[in-house]
Structure 1
Amino acid sequence: MTLTMTKKVIECQAETLQFMPIEKVEDECSTENYSSGSTLLKRGKKLEDNNNLTKEDLEYINYRQLLKYEEAPAYLQHNPYIRDGYRKMLPTRLCWESVFWWTNETMNIWTHVFGFFLIMSLTINDLLLINIHATMADKVVAAVLFSCFMICMALSALYHTFSCRSETDYNTFLMYDLFGIALSLLAIYTSGVYYAFWCNYELKVFYMITVTVIFVVAMTLQIPRLNVSYLVKMCVFIGWAAYGMLPTLHWTYINGGFDNPLVQILVPRIVGMYLISGTAFIIYAFKIPEIWFPGKVDYIGHSHQWWHILVLGALYYWHNTAMLYVQYRMNHGCASTMRIF
């Protein structure tokens, strides 16, 4: 598409422009003082309206241009196999608007926007619509679990929305995103410990304290001035996830092993949770499938999108696992022959 312009805007000097592609409008024509990201659309203009475009229209067109990997801001160049679809550094208003653009972040944002509302609907269904005769403590645990999951989804979506605002904002929202992941892990552990050790108060308190301590350590490492490397942070998260095997094995033992029907029901579910989470991490860490198809899955189908889908699937799967346990305990109560150590 070409555009005839008789004058450049003042900032670009009063030179006459020849026919030139929209993509070549110089970056210096843009400004951080842009006040209305949808000026062009609000006025009902089309790109073909060559003689009616204003300075703001040109700025908007310039902002909408997507970048190749080599053209993207350096701090966004963390996956060389995603070759196209990067947003320019945008002001706040256009960061919000870019949620509705088609970029390599669009699916990252919307998978967890969908996840937020899915978990909200589960919350309403479980706490308000289904009468399971649970105690107030049970309802509080469920509410905390759902709240942590929704916060995780929301912070993830915000991170992907504002990652292009500035490098400072990128690092800030990345910290929030990691906080959301840690919060969801804490919710999974505390709910799992609460339900698994429903019949043993001492062990319930012990394991809740230990997972909370690990959460505090993981969050402390996120403090920017400590300058902890990303690798160390991820190792702490992996170690935290692996720690979950300890209460699982202990719970299996005190319930009599696989002779117990509850163990037969829930241990495979816990193994399934680890398989889903492990698969998600492998896809994320090894950048599958874009490492095999560079530039082919830039907009849909790359590793971070699969990571999002599997994380959401894991949270939904854990919700269903918790419901199975609650239903079993309400129908069978606590075993009188349960071992402690």
Structure 2
Amino acid sequence: MKGQRVVEVVMVLYKGPRLLALTKTPPHLQFNKFVLTGYRPVSTAQECLRSLFYMHNELGNIYTHGIPLVLFLVLLPFSIPWMEVESVWICIVHYIACLCPTIGSVIYHVFMNHVGGEHVYDTLLSFDMFGVCLVNTLGALPIIYITLLCYPTMQQTAMLTYILLSAYGIYCATTARTNVLRLQAFIWQALFRFSLFLFRVYGSGVGSPHSLRLFIIMDSLAVVGGLVNIIQIPERFSPGLFDNWGNSHQIMHVMVICSIVYLHWGTLEDLAWIKSYQCPME
């Protein structure tokens, strides 16, 4: 009898509420007109958490960042050379940078249909975008530090400039009302990083000879993922077919995770390189 009771509880948990069509959802949740079904009803915080265990059109978005979040949280510390690097802050900000976008994304997608309505939704979206801004900000600081390693004054100026530029980008991203404006908020940060890559290739910037390619792939994946999310493909070509799996937002999620992995690989290359590098004497 006890085993039967457990089965009944599990069945109730997994059954979930009746899902809604696009036209039956609140207006602030109708941001992809090509995803037609599978919307969760307005829910309490507890009901939002229950949605982790039944199928709906946000489940893929939750787990494509939720699973990597757990893996990053547990596995990344073992691959970061904490005790081998003189500037330990690089390791700390890099680890935080890798976690930030997944934390914000999971919380946003789990609770986006909260009974608090549009106000709660906007707050969660801003928190999600804040996480994306942090990976752009914190993730680039080790790149700036190592690229300008032999120019301390320029190095400090560049890091301060990038932080101020990022603060403006955070404001733009968290207050933007469309996906296009959110993507545009990161343009100046991307151009700044690109100038660093050019300085490594054509100037006197330093760094591992293997990391630059990884960083370029990192930024390329992030940009392409953002564009896919804006264009809303493949669901644009077959509305309703990709409601639960394979839609543009999930593709963007996967590309963001791949981008973070390349950031991690590139940073590890630089950290291994910096241990044996000495700037030339003037």
Task: Give the superposition deviation at 1:272.
Answer: 1.6
Within the candidate set 219, 228, 243, 1:298 is matched to: 243
Counterpart position of 1:273: 218
Distance 2:69 2:82 in 1: 23
Q: Using the alignment, how far apart are the partners of 1:229 and 1:209 within structure 2?
A: 28
- Alpha-carbon distance in 2 for matches of 1:45, 1:233: 42
1:150, distance to aligned residue in structure 2 (A): 1.3
Counterpart contact for 2:212–2:266, Cα < 8 Å: no
- Match for residue 111 of structure 2 among 162, 176, 179: 162
What amino acid is aligned across from residue 209 of structure 1 in structure 2?
Answer: L
Deviation at 1:43, TM superposition (A): 9.6
Q: Which of 176, 197, 208 is residue 127 of structure 2 equivalent to? A: 176
TM value normalised by structure 1 = 0.73
Q: What amino acid is aligned across from residue 176 of structure 1 in structure 2? A: F
The Cα of 1:290 is off from its aligned counterpart by 0.8
Q: CA deviation at 1:216?
A: 1.3
Conserved in 2, the CA contact under 8 Å of 1:63 and 1:88?
no
Could you say which residue in structure 1 is the equivalent of 2:147?
196
Q: Is the CA contact (8 Å cut-off) linking 1:81 and 1:291 kept in structure 2?
A: yes
Identity rate, percent: 21
**2-structure distance, mates of 1:159, 1:245:** 30
- 3-state SS in 1 of match to 2:186: helix
1:1-341 paired onto structure 2 within 5 Å: 44=8, 64-127=17-80, 133-135=84-86, 137=87, 139-165=88-114, 166-221=117-172, 229-230=177-178, 231-255=180-204, 262-263=208-209, 265-331=210-276, 333-336=277-280
Q: Are residues 262 and 234 of structure 1, via their aligned partners in 2, closer, same or farther at CA, if it must alter by over 3 Å?
A: closer
CA RMSD after TM alignment:
2.8
Deviations 1:58-99 (A, max 9, x none): xx9997011111111111111111111100000111001112
Q: Could you say which structure has the larger radius of gyration?
A: 1
Relative to structure 1, the CA distance from residue 280 to residue 191 in structure 2 (aligned partners, 3 Å threshold; closer, same or farther) is same
Count residues in correspondence.
275
1:221 shift after superposition? 3.6
CA distance in 2 between partners of 1:334 and 1:188 (Å): 24
> 1:123–1:143: 8 Å Cα contact kept in structure 2?
no
8 Å Cα contact 1:63-1:90 kept in structure 2:
no
In structure 2, what residue type is equivalent to 1:185? N
Structure 1 pair 168/43, CA: closer, same or farther in 2 (3 Å)? farther
Partner AA of 1:110 in structure 2: Y
Show structure 1 runs of 5+ residues with no match.
Answer: 1-40, 48-56
Cα deviation for residue 203 of structure 1 reads: 2.1
Cα distance, 1:255 vs. partner?
3.2
Code of the aligned partner of 1:245:
F
| Residue aligned with 2:185, SS | helix
Residues 241-250 or 179-188, more deviating: 241-250
How far residue 269 of structure 1 moved from its aligned partner, in angstroms, is 2.4
Aligned-partner Cα distance in 2 for 1:78–1:251: 41
**Contact conserved, 1:193 with 1:208, CA < 8 A, in 2?**
yes
Q: Are residues 222 and 308 of structure 1, via their aligned partners in 2, closer, same or farther at CA, if it must alter by over 3 Å?
A: closer
Of the structure 1 ranges 238-247 and 279-288, higher mean CA displacement relative to structure 2 is found in: 238-247
- Output the CA distance in 1 between the equivalents of 2:92 and 2:100: 12
